């Protein structure tokens, strides 16, 4: 039992080290300069504490949310979307996209919220995969500034150094890539810049030699896990160069806030200590139950064994059913993930094909002939034509990438 606790404690410590090293290496959120504003993303699980700060151009619209992480992308991450005053240009930070693969017994199962990718993939290859998922045309690779490559490599090296004494053999790596994409939004030819950092970790779990005759040795396992952080900058083609230059400024973008990071790590450590205490109590209760059960006759033990097998089978069936349900849910496109995370939906003008992002709180959306003013309502009989100035067209709800 003590060995299990030690392994759990080491795993949790390694789990938080990547955040600690990344935040310690990052510059603090800069004060807003002229022409910029700072928006904050809060953590509802910590009484609305500011978790991340995002510096955006002044007068740009902003929406953001914090995810607590899951099985594949284990650490919390923030998602945001900020758009220009005319709504044509926007910058998005997508949800963390993770996948896992490996060898050995521990590779037989993996978190059910991973991408359906089965092996190593470079950052540039991942952008090609993502561009196809977003249904955009992949135009060209784009070079990454040398100072950004050096900073990512330095963070990975610091993380490796911090985890050098762990029970697990762990190797971290980081790779950056950029790509130019384009697509058509109604009458507008849109151009975009996909920027990603793919952080990968390789964990090697030692095997175990069997101490019982007839029981096979447990071979070692190697698990690879990669997480891609993606920023997507989009503008009409004739405005793209100016928008990209503005967002290439070092003072624009988002970062986790150090006070929140320390608070999150403190809570995580307390939860881990509680979990280990509960494991100790459960272990002691199991030992007492086993001692009592040993005194029972063989018939009672056989009956309990059969009931246990039946319970395990039911649990396996339920687990497989949940895994199948989760695999079906993951087929949703990345563009729909962003809409859902930001409480928005995508609508299309049936006459012009123009796409707009609007609030998902209403069931019906109308847009006037300029394509810039919208009217939303939950009344299916409401019609702004003849009531409001201009000509209004009811919009169709489509996927986040504009497809039917």
Domain positions in the chain? 2-268, 343-398
In the predicted structure, residue 6 carries a pLDDT above the cut 70? no
In the predicted structure, residue 15 carries a pLDDT above the cut 50? no
The region of weakest confidence among 61-65, 139-143, 328-332 is: 328-332
Q: What is the pLDDT of residue 245?
A: 94
Instruction: Summarize pLDDT for 29-53 with one digit per residue, the tens.
Output: 666 677 899 999 999 999 999 999 9
In the predicted structure, residue 269 carries a pLDDT above the cut 50? yes
Confirm whether pTM is higher than 0.75: no
The per-residue pLDDT of the chain, averaged, comes to 83
Question: Which residue is listed with tokens 């700072």?
Answer: 38
Question: Which strand ranges, in their side-by-side order, compose the sheet holding 355-359?
Answer: 355-359, 344-348, 396-398
205 touches 220 (CB < 8 A): yes
**Overall residue count recorded for the chain in this entry:** 404
Out of 93-97, 207-211, 274-278, the most confident range is 93-97
In the predicted structure, residue 11 carries a pLDDT above the cut 50? no
Instruction: Summarize pLDDT for 309-353 with one digit per residue, the tens.
Output: 788 788 777 777 776 656 555 545 678 888 788 888 888 888 888
In the predicted structure, residue 20 carries a pLDDT above the cut 60? no
Instruction: Summarize pLDDT for 152-202 with one digit per residue, the tens.
Output: 888 888 877 876 666 667 888 899 999 999 999 888 899 999 999 999 988
349 touches 395 (CB < 8 A): yes
Q: What is the rounded CA–CA span in Å between residue 226 and residue 119?
A: 10
Q: What is the pLDDT of residue 10?
A: 34
Q: Of 339, 38, 39, 97, which Cα lies nearest the Cα of 230?
A: 97
């Amino acid at each position: 039992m003590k060995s299990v606790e030690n392994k759990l404690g080491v795993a949790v410590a390694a789990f938080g080290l990547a955040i600690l090293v990344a935040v310690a290496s990052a510059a603090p959120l800069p004060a807003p300069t002229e022409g910029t504003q700072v928006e904050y993303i809060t953590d509802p699980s910590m009484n609305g504490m500011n978790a991340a700060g995002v510096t955006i151009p002044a007068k740009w619209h902003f929406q953001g949310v914090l995810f607590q992480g899951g099985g594949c992308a284990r650490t919390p991450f923030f998602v945001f979307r900020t758009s220009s005053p005319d709504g044509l240009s926007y910058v998005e930070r997508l949800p963390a996209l993770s996948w896992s693969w490996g060898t050995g017994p521990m590779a037989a199962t993996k978190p059910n919220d991973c991408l359906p990718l089965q092996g190593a993939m470079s950052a540039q290859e991942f952008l090609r995969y993502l561009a196809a998922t977003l249904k955009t045309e992949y135009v060209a690779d784009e070079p990454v500034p040398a100072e950004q490559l050096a900073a990512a490599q330095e963070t990975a090296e610091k993380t490796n150094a911090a985890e050098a004494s762990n029970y697990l053999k762990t190797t971290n790596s980081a790779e950056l890539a950029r790509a130019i994409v384009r697509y058509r939004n109604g009458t507008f030819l849109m151009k975009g810049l996909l920027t990603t950092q793919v952080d990968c970790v390789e964990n090697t779990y030692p095997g175990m030699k069997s101490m019982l005759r007839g029981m096979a040795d447990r071979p070692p396992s190697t698990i690879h896990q990669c997480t891609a952080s993606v920023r997507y900058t989009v503008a009409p083609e004739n405005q793209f160069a100016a928008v990209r230059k503005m967002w290439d400024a070092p003072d624009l973008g988002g970062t986790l806030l150090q006070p929140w990071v320390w608070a999150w790590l403190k809570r995580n450590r307390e939860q881990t200590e509680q979990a280990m205490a509960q494991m100790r109590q459960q272990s002691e209760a199991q030992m007492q139950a086993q001692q009592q059960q040993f005194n029972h006759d063989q018939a009672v033990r056989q009956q309990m064994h059969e009931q246990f097998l039946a319970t395990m089978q039911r649990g396996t069936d339920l687990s497989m059913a949940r895994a199948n349900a989760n695999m079906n849910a993951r087929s949703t496109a990345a563009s729909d993930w962003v809409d859902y995370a930001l409480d928005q939906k995508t609508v299309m003008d049936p006459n012009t094909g123009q796409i707009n992002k609007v609030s998902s709180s209403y069931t019906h959306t109308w847009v006037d002939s300029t394509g810039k003013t919208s009217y939303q309502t939950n009344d299916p009989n409401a019609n702004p034509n003849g009531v409001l100035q201009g000509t209004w067209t009811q919009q169709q709800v489509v996927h986040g990438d504009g497809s039917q």
